[in-house]
Amino acid sequence: MAEHSAQQAFAPSSSTLLDVKHLSVGFDGSQVVDNLSFNVKAGETLALVGESGSGKSVSALGVMNLLPDNAQVSGERSLAGTDLASLKRSQWKTILGNQVGFVFQEPMTSLNPLHRVGKQIGETLRLHQSLTGKAARQRARELLEQVRLPRPDELLDAWPHQLSGGQRQRVMIAMAIANQPKLLIADEPTTALDVTVQQEILALLRDLRDQHSMGMLFITHDLNLVRAHADRVCVMYQGQQQESGPVSQVFNHPQSDYTAALLAAEPQGRPKPVGRVQPRLEATRLSVAFARPRAGLFRRQPAPFCGRRAH
Amino acid sequence: MSPITRRRIAAFRANRRARVSLWLFSALFVFSLFAELVANDKPLILKFEGEWYLPLVVDYPETEFGGFLPTHTDYLDPFIQEQIEENGWALWPLIPFSYQTLDMHMTRPSPAAPDSRHWLGTDDQGRDVLSRVIYGFRLSVAFALVLTAGSLVMGVFIGGVQGYFGGKVDLVGQRFTEIWSGLPVLFLLIILASFVQPGFWWLLGIMMLFSWLGLVDIVRAEFLRARNLEYVRAAKAMGLPSHLIMWRHVLPNAMVATLTFVPFLFTGAIGTLTALDFLGFGLPPGSPSLGELAAQGKNNLHAPWLGITAFMTLAVMLSLLVFIGEGLRDAFDPRHVQSRHKEVTHG
């Protein structure tokens, strides 16, 4: 811990984008996050690591004032010199979506199923840049290209259900970077995706970070991803900060017992192959049929099950 | 139009009973909108001594047509009719009686049974029943339309605010709704009717105070569910103000459950208006009202055409509306839509 604060003191404050000191979050009296301090510099990735329920997401949401009204957030927090703790409700609108972009965990449900992709990207452009009509569409198309989605013109008019999980997450990223934010908060952005897509999305996030020299707060529980994609790491356990520092230092020489336990808990080796065993359940030529009600005076013929029309 | 909407329309069209009901009801309503041209006690066009007259638009004194007094012309007066026949011609509506025309020139006592002069007979004041049914149908539907639209706006607004903000707003709102819905509407209306003579707008206003209650629960539940959806949280993180989140992201999802409820709100409004008129606390005397016709049927059991007409009109109107409502509900039911969809892709 001493090492960490020393490092903070020597860091040039001009490049520090998000600075959080002694953050505490409580809900109706019960403390969820206690005395958390971290900072994110422009152009680097800070990973916030911890098991489920350790307060990672709550910390990020708390810093950005996105928690429900019954949450009490205290501590110093500033974004690029702006004191976030004293901001009024109306001032938050210039921060959220504009200087800070969010990417959430669930790409399958993060897009409104009732709006086309282009319209949803256009919504944030209109809100913060007052872009409408053709200009907004052009910009949305550029954004889709930036997140390396194929056929951007077609995708602008696509419905969310027509996209795969990875594609939707790219759309979410496009929305998050639409207003060229200084800070990108990625809350478990790849948890719901399969492994190959994970790597693509994270590579994309890193490239975008470098291109726009954004700072990135990367919330995850996956230590492998932290090792590969983060510059510095902050480990949390039950709302307490366990350790923080550069990735190589924390991973090679963990200072806290919890970090050491977390690193040791990573699965090693491969599962044993299953030998020759008798199958427990077998089904051959299985079919299922129901007696269907027939049409009558007060009843319509119900639609067929399998799409085969009744003759 | 989104594919979901298109699929819903297809599902509604596939339901024959609902489709036919919608056509029939629309036809009846459009027909009743032109009630003045169908049932009126004035000729549509009149030619008298080489001049054209439009009695529907202009009020002519009787002296114009050879009468002796400068009063409003009673075109049903045999003397005036004789004059018109001698000096020109008149084009009459299909039913030459308006809803409040008292047929003074009838030979039989009121209520009179159906005959060629009054196709559905007259009521106990000598007014044409068919004419009153046409006007009454229009009034009922118009009343229900305005009431439904009004309660939709109020219910969605109140339920939406409660559900979206939750917490104390929801708590206070729900308790208020519970107390408010405990008030006996019918008695309140009866009490109010003793203070003021309730007209169309009075009744509408009083009933509007209570009819939104049914919607609040549905809309509130939908908003409560939707406020925690990922895309609503994403919109919040994007800095979208609350009213825009509610309007663009939450309301469209809540509309399905809400719209399903609307046809039944509609039938409820017609039912309540009829009940009030039946009890004599509704529209002012003389208004064309189906409830008043039903009351006359009750008071004149020897004139069964009154009761039968009132019953048939209400039965047909409410059945059509319920069938349309069922069709809408099925069309909005996602499971129902899915089975239709499968049929389309594989069939």
Q: Is B342 on the interface with A (CB under 8 A)?
A: yes
pLDDT at A308 over 70: no
pLDDT band at A307 (very low <50, low <70, confident <90, very high): very low
Question: B202: which residues sit within 8 A by CB, 6+ positions away?
Answer: B192, B196
CB–CB contact B239 A104 (8 Å): no
Q: How far is A97 from chain B (nearest CA, A)?
A: 4
> For chain B, what is the domain count?
2
Cα gap B103→A23, rounded to integer Å: 86
Task: Spell out the long-range contacts of B242-245 with Cβ–Cβ below 8 A and sequence spacing 24 or more.
Answer: B242/B164, B242/B165, B244/A127, B245/B164
Cα gap A213→A236, rounded to integer Å: 26
Are B166 and B276 in the same domain?
Answer: yes
Using a CB-CB cut-off of 8 Å, the residues of chain A touching B319 are none
Q: Is B13 on the interface with A (CB under 8 A)?
A: no
A residues 262-301 lying closer than 8 A (beta carbon) to B: 300
3-state secondary structure of B197: coil
- Report the side by side order of strands in the sheet with A232-237: A82-83, A71-79, A16-27, A30-41, A240-246, A232-237, A45-49, A215-220, A183-187, A100-103
Which amino acid is residue A306, in one-letter code?
Answer: C
Using a CB-CB cut-off of 8 Å, the residues of chain A touching B252 are 112, 114
Read off the pLDDT of each residue in A124-142 and give the average, rounded to a whole number.
90
Query: Which one of A96, A109, A309 has the shortest CB-CB distance to B238?
Result: A96
Phi, psi (deg, nearest 5) at residue A19? -125, 120
Q: Is A110 on the interface with B (CB under 8 A)?
A: yes
Return the structure tokens found at A52. Answer: 């489920």
CA dihedral in degrees (B8, B10, B13, B17; nearest 10)? Answer: -60
Question: B199: which residues sit within 8 A by CB, 6+ positions away?
Answer: B283, B284
CB–CB contact B253 A114 (8 Å): yes
Using left for φ > 0, alpha for ψ between -120 and 50, and beta otherwise, residue A7 falls in: alpha
CB–CB contact A96 B345 (8 Å): no
Phi, psi (deg, nearest 5) at residue A35? 55, 55
pLDDT at A311 over 60: no
Asked, for residue B248, whether it belongs to a domain, the answer is yes
Return the structure tokens found at A166. Answer: 């990875």
Contact (CB, 8 A) for A8 and A64:
no
CB–CB contact A303 B340 (8 Å): yes
Q: Which of A228-237, B117-126, B184-193, B199-208 has the lowest mean pLDDT?
A: B184-193
Asked, for residue A129, whether it belongs to a domain, the answer is yes
Are B56 and B84 in the same domain?
Answer: yes
Read off the pLDDT of each residue in B294-320 and give the average, rounded to a whole number.
92
DSSP H or E segment with residue B168? helix B167-182
Return the structure tokens found at B170. Answer: 């929801």
Q: How far is A225 from chain B (nearest CA, A)?
A: 23
Return the structure tokens found at B341. Answer: 């969809």
Asked, for residue A140, whether it belongs to a domain, the answer is yes
Higher-pLDDT residue of A269 and A199 is A199
Q: Is A70 on the interface with B (CB under 8 A)?
A: yes
Residue of A nearest to B256 (CA): A114
Asked, for residue A139, whether it belongs to a domain, the answer is yes
3-state secondary structure of B288: coil
Taking Cα atoms as reference points, which of B288, B336, B263 lies closest to residue B136? B288
Read off the pLDDT of each residue in B116-131 and give the average, rounded to a whole number.
87
Higher-pLDDT residue of B256 and B183 is B183
Are B83 and B61 in the same domain?
Answer: yes
Mutate to test the interface with A, among B233, B238, B335, B339 (most CBs of A within 10 A): B238
3-state secondary structure of A60: helix
Read off the pLDDT of each residue in A19-27 and give the average, rounded to a whole number.
90
Contact (CB, 8 A) for A18 and A39:
yes
Using a CB-CB cut-off of 8 Å, the residues of chain B touching A123 are 235, 238, 240, 248
- The runs of H, that is alpha helices, within A74-147 are 89-95, 117-129, 133-146
Return the structure tokens found at A186. Answer: 């990625």
Using a CB-CB cut-off of 8 Å, the residues of chain B touching A96 are 236-239
Average pLDDT taken over every residue of chain A: 84
CB–CB contact A104 B4 (8 Å): no
Asked, for residue B273, whether it belongs to a domain, the answer is yes
Are B84 and B221 in the same domain?
Answer: no
Per-residue confidence (pLDDT) for residue B116, from 0 to 100: 84
What is the DSSP code (8-state) at residue A282?
-
Cα gap A292→B107, rounded to integer Å: 62
Mutate to test the interface with B, among A90, A110, A168 (most CBs of B within 10 A): A110
Are B157 and B252 in the same domain?
Answer: yes
Q: Which pLDDT tens digit goes with each residue over A143-177?
A: 999 888 888 888 898 888 888 888 999 999 999 99
Using a CB-CB cut-off of 8 Å, the residues of chain B touching A69 are 167
CA distances from A33 to A63, A237, A241, A300 (A): 11, 9, 9, 59
CA dihedral in degrees (B315, B320, B323, B328; nearest 10)? Answer: -140
Are B82 and B201 in the same domain?
Answer: no
Query: Which one of A92, A106, A172 has the shortest CB-CB distance to B239?
Result: A92
- The runs of H, that is alpha helices, within chain A are 2-10, 56-63, 89-95, 117-129, 133-146, 152-156, 165-176, 195-212, 223-229, 247-252, 257-264
Are B240 and B143 in the same domain?
Answer: yes
Asked, for residue B114, whether it belongs to a domain, the answer is no
> What b/e readout covers A141-164, taking b as 16+ CB neighbours within 10 angstroms?
bebbebbebeebeebbebbbeebe
Asked, for residue A172, whether it belongs to a domain, the answer is yes
Contact (CB, 8 A) for B292 and B162:
no
- Report the side by side order of strands in the sheet with B45-48: B51-53, B45-48, B88-91
Q: Say what the ipTM of the complex is.
A: 0.70
Q: Which of A2-11, A133-142, B152-161 has the lowest mean pLDDT?
A: A2-11
Q: Which domain holds residue A154?
A: 114-178
Residue of B nearest to A90 (CA): B241
Q: Which domain holds residue B76?
A: 41-92
Higher-pLDDT residue of B239 and B174 is B174
Q: Of all residues in chain B, what percent carry a pLDDT higher than 90?
A: 31
Asked, for residue A267, whether it belongs to a domain, the answer is no
Taking Cα atoms as reference points, which of B254, B271, B269 lies closest to residue B151? B269
Q: Count Cα atoms within 13 angstroms, Cβ side, for A1.
A: 7
Cα gap B113→A134, rounded to integer Å: 70
Asked, for residue B208, whether it belongs to a domain, the answer is yes
Are B183 and B285 in the same domain?
Answer: yes
CB–CB contact B237 A69 (8 Å): no
CB–CB contact A93 B241 (8 Å): yes
Per-residue confidence (pLDDT) for residue A3, from 0 to 100: 43
Asked, for residue B97, whether it belongs to a domain, the answer is no
Cα gap A159→A147, rounded to integer Å: 18
What is the DSSP code (8-state) at residue B128?
B
Taking Cα atoms as reference points, which of A202, A151, A211, A217 lies closest to residue A180? A211
CB–CB contact B2 A114 (8 Å): yes
Q: Which of A296-300, B211-215, B298-302 has the lowest mean pLDDT?
A: A296-300
How big is the A-B interface in CB pairs under 8 Å? 87
Mutate to test the interface with B, among A69, A90, A114, A177 (most CBs of B within 10 A): A114
CB–CB contact A109 B3 (8 Å): no
Longest dimension (CA), chain B: 83
CATH of the domain at B287: 1.10.3720.10
> For chain A, what is the domain count?
1
Asked, for residue B123, whether it belongs to a domain, the answer is no
Cα gap A21→A38, rounded to integer Å: 7
Mutate to test the interface with B, among A104, A111, A112 (most CBs of B within 10 A): A112
Q: Is B234 on the interface with A (CB under 8 A)?
A: yes
Contact (CB, 8 A) for A3 and A28:
no
Phi, psi (deg, nearest 5) at residue A172? -60, -40
pLDDT at A303 over 80: no
pLDDT band at A310 (very low <50, low <70, confident <90, very high): very low
CA distances from A56 to A29, A136, A296, A307 (A): 19, 34, 60, 48
Asked, for residue A169, whether it belongs to a domain, the answer is yes
pLDDT at A304 over 80: no
Cα gap A111→A120, rounded to integer Å: 8
Are B82 and B209 in the same domain?
Answer: no
Using a CB-CB cut-off of 8 Å, the residues of chain A touching B241 are 93
Strand partners, A71: A27
Q: Is A161 on the interface with B (CB under 8 A)?
A: no
Per-residue confidence (pLDDT) for residue B41, from 0 to 100: 86
Cα radius of gyration rounded to whole Å, chain B: 26
Asked, for residue A168, whether it belongs to a domain, the answer is yes
Are B181 and B291 in the same domain?
Answer: yes
Strand partners, A39: A19
Are B135 and B50 in the same domain?
Answer: no
Are B12 and B55 in the same domain?
Answer: no
Asked, for residue A19, whether it belongs to a domain, the answer is no
Residue of A nearest to B345 (CA): A307
Taking Cα atoms as reference points, which of A70, A75, A77, A99 lies closest to residue A23? A75
Asked, for residue B98, whether it belongs to a domain, the answer is no
Asked, for residue B124, whether it belongs to a domain, the answer is no
